[in-house]
Amino acid sequence: MVICCAALHCSNRQGKTHRGAVSFHRFPLKDSKRLIQWLKAVQRDNWTPTKYSFLCSEHFTKDSFSKRLEDQHRLLKPTAVPTIFQLTEKKGDNQGYVKCRRKIAIQTLPHSRQQRLWQSKSQVCCLREQVEKKNGELKLLRQRISRSDSQVRKLKEKLDELKRISFPYLNSLLSQDCETPQLNPVIEPLSWMLGTWLSDPPGDGIFPTMKPFQYLEEVHISHVGQPMLNFSFNAFHPDTRKPMHRECGFIRLKPDTNKVAFISAQNTGLVEVEEGEVNGQELSIASHSIARISFAKKPHVEQITRKFRLNSDGKLEQTVSMATTTQPMTQHLHITYKKVTP
């Protein structure tokens, strides 16, 4: 941008004169009182200065500048007002032009239409400056919002990737696009268990023969229109996300009763049938029969009890107790799940 002097009949512009010979100074847009004095001195009709408007140093007396080193840029005093202006336009040499300059004395503004005009111009300048400042702030806010939106998108992508890594089975279930069959009326009393559930917070495990531990678990309980529920329990290490305990099977309900059978196969080599009753939104069951592989690790599990219930927060709780060949019936697991899909 080429900087030019805003004074009438002044042709000074940046780069035209020797460096340092003429300096350029902005109008005091933020100082309304001094701005009125500048506007009166400039005497330009129908003109309003902006932040890109300048006056050159030739319109100021020497005492208008602060004392500085010779190699430093001229700096106006906070009270400086221009007083030197050329009253007539330059004539050609054949007309005998003589450069005419004089000082214009700063007089007290009369209470007149002209004074109101200067004040109005001053207000316009101040308002324009405020608008430009607000526009600059608005631009910065838009840039911040754009950066925030970009960060949110990246975080969502990372979250989706973590879900795919941590819960691959859940991801495959969510990607399925098929119509759910109608629920068989026989299993209506167990409908509160349906859905995909994720541990929240991590579950706690404890038993006299092992160190206390925590685990994450993904539970999927569904139906295919048959008089039973299908289930799978998939546990993960809370830090490494490595697979841990796996269990799958079916939950059956004897028609016209509240008697329930829980049939389970586990990746530890244990297969069991648990039976019990459902009362409202609580299911209590205990092992009816247990079978295991011939090389199952000792001590062997001899009895298991479970309790499922839907709490007041809409979360599913499971408590598991067990007895082994060396330990009596003791609580082993407790975990709470939140529903993520119906």
Please tell me the distance from the alpha carbon of residue 140 to that of residue 149, in angstroms, as a whole number: 14
For residue 120, CA distances in Å to 87, 110, 115, 179 come to 25, 15, 9, 71
Report helix, strand or coil for 108: coil
Side-chain-side CA neighbours of residue 240 (13 Å): 4
Q: Dump pLDDT digits (tens) for 151-189.
A: 999 998 888 888 777 666 655 555 555 567 899 999 999
CATH code for the structural domain at 184-341: 2.40.128.20
pLDDT score recorded for residue 129: 72
Q: What sections of 64-219 are H helices per DSSP?
A: 113-166, 168-175
Tell me the average pLDDT of the chain: 86
Report helix, strand or coil for 193: helix
Comparing CA positions, the residue from 126, 89, 82, 279 lying closest to residue 190 is: 279
131 confidence band (pLDDT: 50, 70, 90): confident
The mean pLDDT value for 127-136 works out to: 80
Q: Dump pLDDT digits (tens) for 269-293.
A: 999 999 999 999 999 999 999 999 9
Q: Residue 282: enclosing H or E segment and its boundaries?
A: strand 282-292
Q: Do 318 and 333 form a contact (C-beta atoms < 8 A)?
A: yes
pLDDT score recorded for residue 307: 98
Please tell me the distance from the alpha carbon of residue 274 to that of residue 263, in angstroms, as a whole number: 6
Q: Do 306 and 249 form a contact (C-beta atoms < 8 A)?
A: no
Q: Dump pLDDT digits (tens) for 113-130.
A: 655 666 666 667 667 777
With 0.85 as the threshold, say if the pTM is over it: no
Q: What tokens appear for 139 in the block?
A: 């631009």
Q: Are β-strands 330-341 and 203-207 bridged in parallel, bridged antiparallel, or unpaired?
A: antiparallel
Report how far apart the first and last C-alpha atoms of the chain are (Å, whole number): 64
Q: How many CB atoms lie within 10 A of CB 62?
A: 6
- Checking if the pLDDT of 101 tops 70, the result is no
Please tell me the distance from the alpha carbon of residue 214 to that of residue 223, in angstroms, as a whole number: 29
Q: Dump pLDDT digits (tens) for 220-243.
A: 999 999 999 999 999 999 999 999
The mean pLDDT value for 7-22 works out to: 81
75 or 21: which leads in pLDDT: 75
Q: Do 321 and 302 form a contact (C-beta atoms < 8 A)?
A: no
Question: What is the helix, strand, coil percentage profile of the chain, to 5?
Answer: 25, 35, 40
The mean pLDDT value for 210-222 works out to: 96
Q: What DSSP line would sit under 60-71, residue for residue?
A: S-GGGB----TT
DSSP character at residue 1: -
C-alpha gyration radius of the chain: 43
Q: Residue 36: enclosing H or E segment and its boundaries?
A: helix 32-42
97 confidence band (pLDDT: 50, 70, 90): very low
Boundaries of every domain in the chain:
24-141, 184-341
